Chains A and B, each alone.
Chain A
Amino acid sequence: MHVTQNAAELCSLLVDEFHGELPSRIYSTLLMRGKSSIQQLCQYTLMTPRQLRHGLAVLHQFNLLFNQVEDNGMTLYEANPDHTYNLVRAGRILEMVETSFGPAGKDVMQSLFTSGQTRISDLVTAYQGKSGRANGLSKQFDDEDDEDNKANGMNGAPSQSKKLEGPVKSTAELNSILCRLVEAELIDVVHRRTFISPEGILKAVDKEVTDKFFPNGVKGGKGKIEHKQHIGEALRSIRGESKSLKRKLEQNGPAAKRRKLFANGISSNGFSNGVHDDEVDPALDAKQVVRINYEKCLVDLRNRRLVQFVTELIGDITAYVYGVLLHLLTKRIPRCRLDATMDLDQDGQETDQQGPVFVTTAELLDQLKTSIDLSQGLGKTSAQDIATKAAEKISEHPPKPKLWIEETEVDGEASEDESDDDNESDTGYDADYKPAVNGTRVKFADGVAPKEQRLDRTGQLRQHLLLLSNSAQGFVRHCGHDEWTVDFAPLMKVLREAELDSTIERTSGRDGMRLVRILRDKGKLDEKALHSIALMRKPDVQKKMTEMLKAGFVHVQEVPRDNKADVKKSIFLWFCDTDMSFKKITDNCYRAMVRCIQTLEVLRQNEQEVLMLTRRTDVKGREKDVMREEYYERYARFQDNERKLFAQVMRLDDLVALLRDF
């Protein structure tokens, strides 16, 4: 994360919002001053070492810090802005976990959010404690888990929910939820090097590798490549350490997992959120410390975002199909963006040990909900209105031997090669093409009608997938016969640009967007060319361009005609630097988030007296009954605004996530 002034301000505010003022002050000092020891922090913040240690402990607990022990035994602390920023996403991630793993999963995840990185045994105890508090209210459940037989049945009532029955009902269920989350890589293990900054790790690994393999120094081009490979390998193994728990689970019970999938049926995201067969889940090592793995969470959030885009651009049903496809596809994708030293070889190709990633139509079909009617959502015809049917044609991609090729166009010639495998009517493109059309309805070409009606579910599914693969954005690539994959890098680029376009359209109007898109398409243009392509009046173009220049969406370059560089004779070329615009928008987002949180703070100040009241123990929890109507109204309104502002911060984060992280 590139920390700008606004980003730093935002991070400090977030720490303040979630963990209070003391950690926030230390955190902002660390951001401002860089790596510091406790002594230095004492100087900078004018706090006592005792206070500092308290604050640092909190920050450490939530993985907001890196530390590094120097040779002389002194510990240096450093802010971890990436993780701090992720605090904004807490709500989003919880919501996502809830849809995939049910309310119980959400509850566990929430506990991890509120308590930071936690030892599993502590988590279990916490849940027992909660149930202990609620014991008086309800009867106990017998726990079938023989491993932990002193555990009480969890009958719910986590403090934040007022329901009698909490989402997590037993320690066994807690265990199984944790297993699911670990398998999905949404949580991973904290290990020794979690707290060392990436630069620190790289430095250490570099030293190790050089000492071990190149005691005489790295020499020559070949040596350099080898050196790089060794480093990449070592870094990968360090990164793999946090997945130790998952590996253990996979060793124990892939078969059990599969059995379960058959037994319980699959919810929309492929995970059963009902009750599990508890005995098949191995008990997790109670000493392990777990934390939330934001990298994988981001992958899932990206999937959701893509589904949203498809809903917007194509339609609901297709988006649903796409969501299932993405879910299957990203099971094996641990992070959104590949790391240059770890995941790419010197040609920029991915060093993927797992082989090509794709999903077949059959796999996909197995995961679709039976309630979904795949014949809907496409411009197809239902049986009764044959007259308005549209003639259709499937054009297929040739099987691609290699992945990660940017290929979004529908290639006519290639599809003809394959025309006979499942689409007999595919006899060249213009063979049965009739330009005659009736009004706005396209006449139905004979012979295709009965065939289309008889399309089975696989055929319907294929229709949706083909639509996705033929989209201008290239949502899906048909990479082999009935094999589908997604090229995330080019796709996300397209979507980032789409997001930029809609931002421009909203702020500078459609004319502005038109001009920017022209510039992106054609490169640098002078004004005359610009207004003739855009079919806009010259003064309008000038006005709009100046406006957008101010907003940072377009830039201008002066090219002198001769050595004298006479301004009157110079050519002025407009261009748009998309990456620069992304950075600008991202920074504006940080800033807008900061303003939202500050506004919230202002509201708190204004309503201080009311809020003080709600903090009283005799008022807390039953505000409506105890408070005077007038004050309760003010309190309710404040809460409403608080919700609104946080929701807005989250919406801003959507944009940041897309532009920066996906």
Chain B
Amino acid sequence: MADDEAAKVDATDKVDANDEADKGDKVKLLKDMLYEAVCQHGSDSRLFTQKDLVDLGVVPANDPILLLSLIQGLTDDKLLVASTGPTGICWRWRNREEAKKYTSLPNDETAMVYSVIDEAGADGIWNRTIKNRLNMHEAVVKNCIKYLETKGYIASMKNVEHPNKKMYIKANLAPSERATGGPWFTDGELDTAFIEELKRLVFEYIKTKSAYLGSQGGHRGDAASNVRAPKRGIIKGSGDSNGTRGNKRAATDMSMDEGANGKEASPVVAPRQRGGKVFLPLPAGYKKYPTVAEIARFINIEGITNNTTLSVPDVQQLVDVLYYDGLIEPVRVGARRGYRVTRPTRQSTVSFQPGMGLEVDMLGPEPRGNGLTEVPCGRCPVFELCGEGGPVSPSNCVYFVKWLDLEDAVEGAAKPTLIAAP
């Protein structure tokens, strides 16, 4: 119908040139007026029905034929985009710059490709989807995309959900959160360093808020030694091995830490031996364990996430990871869901500052060991193969020799020696 009308208009145009110029001006004027009015009445995502357009009051006498010709004109200029709304055909407006891009395109194929990409919006679109939707030959689509890319109208992007798919997006749009993966991704890659740093910060926050930094009094020393005397026997094994591990770590880390932050380095290694401060659990029912909302507020006030604002669900995700790492535990007091640090007395009392870097090797205390992880077998790569008479067996186990510190003894025993009774 619109075409007929347009043809009719054309026909009348041809009849009278004078009239035509006059009418053309008038139509152009009305077109501009209509476009301005539409722009005034909503964003470029609003859908206008025919009734909406009539109600704008731009078209004299609400002439539907005139309206039709105006819409046709604007659509040809790519200033209006027709689409199907819930009540039939609708239009939304497009800004002039965009429209100019469309009109500057060399052929229809390119325009179609561009419009498909345009419609996909901030989510971007996979090149194969373009091909399927337009039912074009791959080479044609490729050419169009190449043209559009060189013109700078579209850009390729990466979607974290489908990292292997080649996606395109309009050049002037930023990819949506779904495509970028939210605040945890930078350039389509999970930003582990950022997450790690933030985790430390959040952990430190929870630690200081959910445990009490107290000193070990003299009384306590007495009592503790009395109480712990029997127990010491049991945990001796672990204590010893932990001790040696701790020392080993100290040897390698000390120099580094001391360079980095001077005096604070040594308490990291031995917070308890220093006898000074230690984190103590807070009494039951303590009601100021930090909640996720508080943590989120803290992060935003701290401002370490320069340009991104972390929402509460994002922070929840981070806190969950800390929980799964066994560093914190949820605690419910009344209606309040807070988080507190686990194993408070084993925590390092050195406070973490943002920007301190990743020199402090691990969050929280050393993981607990047990019999299986300490014995060489627990971490032996050939544990399954090992057996008497096999290629690997206890009699030629290098790990045990090392573990028992027997290297020289084995050599000694290998030499045949005669022993005389003393």
Contact = CB atoms under 8 A, between A and B. Distances in A.
Interface of A: 92, 95, 99, 268, 304, 307-308, 311-320, 369, 371-373, 376-382, 388, 390-395, 409-410, 412-413, 415-416, 428-430, 433, 435, 437, 440, 442, 463, 466-467, 469-470, 472, 499, 501-503, 505-507, 510, 513-514, 517-518, 521, 528, 533-538, 585, 588-589, 591-592, 595-596, 598-599, 601-603, 605-607, 609-610, 613, 616, 626-628, 631, 634, 637, 641, 644-645, 647-648, 650-655
Interface in B398-413: 400, 404, 406, 409-410, 412-413
A506 B373 contact: yes
Contacts of B222: 371
Contacts of B419: 609-610, 613, 631
Interface residues on B, range: 35 or more
B127 interface: no
Given A507-B373, A588-B383, A382 B285 contact: no
Contacts of A521: 324
Contacts of A416: 334
B334 A507 contact: no
A112 B216 CA distance: 43
Given A378-B283, A393-B287, A467-B284, A651 B212 contact: no
Given A466-B283, A534-B324, A595 B367 contact: no
Contacts of B137: none
Given A317-B224, A652-B371, A602 B395 contact: yes
A310 B184 CA distance: 36
A528 B351 CA distance: 35
B284 A470 contact: yes
B209 interface: yes
Contacts of B421: 613, 616
A361 to B, nearest CB: 14
24 contacts: A316-B345, A371-B223, A373-B220, A382-B217, A393-B285, A410-B334, A412-B334, A429-B287, A429-B335, A430-B287, A440-B209, A466-B285, A470-B284, A470-B331, A502-B370, A536-B190, A536-B192, A592-B377, A595-B394, A599-B397, A601-B394, A606-B410, A653-B371, A654-B371
Given A373-B220, A391-B286, A507 B378 contact: yes
Interface in B196-251: 208-209, 211-214, 216-217, 219-220, 222-224, 226-228, 230-231, 233-238
Contact of B377 (A472, A595, A644, A651): A595
A601 B284 CA distance: 52
Contacts of A382: 217
A592 B326 contact: no
B331 A627 contact: no
Given A308-B234, A652-B372, A437 B326 contact: no
Interface in B20-34: none
Contacts of B224: 316-317
A651 B373 CA distance: 10
Contacts of B209: 437, 440, 442
Nearest to A589: B372
Contacts of B14: none
A507 B214 CA distance: 34
B285 A470 contact: yes
Nearest to B414: A606
Nearest to B163: A538
B62 to A, nearest CB: 54
A373 to B, nearest CB: 5
A404 to B, nearest CB: 22
B336 A268 contact: no
Which 6 pairs from chain A and chain B are nearest by CB? A379-B212, A412-B334, A651-B371, A429-B334, A466-B284, A652-B371
Contact of A376 (B219, B286, B404, B417): B219
Contacts of A376: 216-217, 219-220, 223
Contacts of B332: 409-410, 412
- Say whether chain A's binding surface is mostly helix, strand, loop, or mixed: helix
A250 B300 CA distance: 68
Nearest to A315: B345
A379 B211 contact: yes
A391 B370 contact: no
A240 B189 CA distance: 67
Given A502-B367, A602-B394, A654-B371, A95 B281 contact: no
Nearest to A637: B409
Given A317-B224, A430-B336, 9 more contacts: A313-B342, A377-B220, A410-B334, A433-B287, A506-B370, A507-B373, A592-B371, A599-B400, A634-B409
A592 B220 CA distance: 39
B213 to A, nearest CB: 8
Contact of A535 (B227, B317, B343, B388): B317
B1 interface: no
Contact of B321 (A410, A514, A602): A514
A180 B371 CA distance: 32
Contact of A379 (B214, B219, B367): B214
B302 to A, nearest CB: 13
B288 interface: yes
B411 to A, nearest CB: 11
A641 B404 contact: yes
A506 B367 contact: yes
A317 B223 contact: yes
Contacts of B287: 391, 393, 429-430, 433
Given A95-B233, A503-B372, A507-B373, A410 B367 contact: no
Nearest to B241: A651
Contacts of A378: 212, 280-283
B368 interface: yes
Contacts of B13: none
A494 B351 CA distance: 31
Interface in B99-138: none
A535 B184 contact: yes
B195 to A, nearest CB: 5
B288 A537 contact: no
B394 A372 contact: no
Given A320-B227, A415-B285, A503-B372, A315 B280 contact: yes
Nearest to A592: B377
Nearest to A499: B370
A397 B89 CA distance: 64
A307 B234 CA distance: 11
A316 to B, nearest CB: 5
Which of B189, B235, B378 counts the most chain A CB atoms within 10 A?
A: B378
Contacts of A435: 294
B333 A429 contact: yes
B231 A308 contact: yes
A535 B318 contact: yes
B254 interface: no
Nearest to A652: B371
Contacts of A627: 422
A503 B346 contact: no
Nearest to A534: B321
A238 to B, nearest CB: 34
Contacts of B406: 603, 641
B9 interface: no
A358 B223 CA distance: 27
A139 to B, nearest CB: 33
A440 B277 CA distance: 15
B41 interface: no
Given A308-B234, A472-B331, A591-B383, A537 B190 contact: yes
Given A412-B333, A596-B375, A395 B237 contact: no
B342 A392 contact: no
B10 to A, nearest CB: 55
B329 interface: yes
B285 to A, nearest CB: 4
A647 B237 contact: yes
Contacts of B73: none
B329 A654 contact: no
B212 to A, nearest CB: 3
Contacts of A591: 377, 383
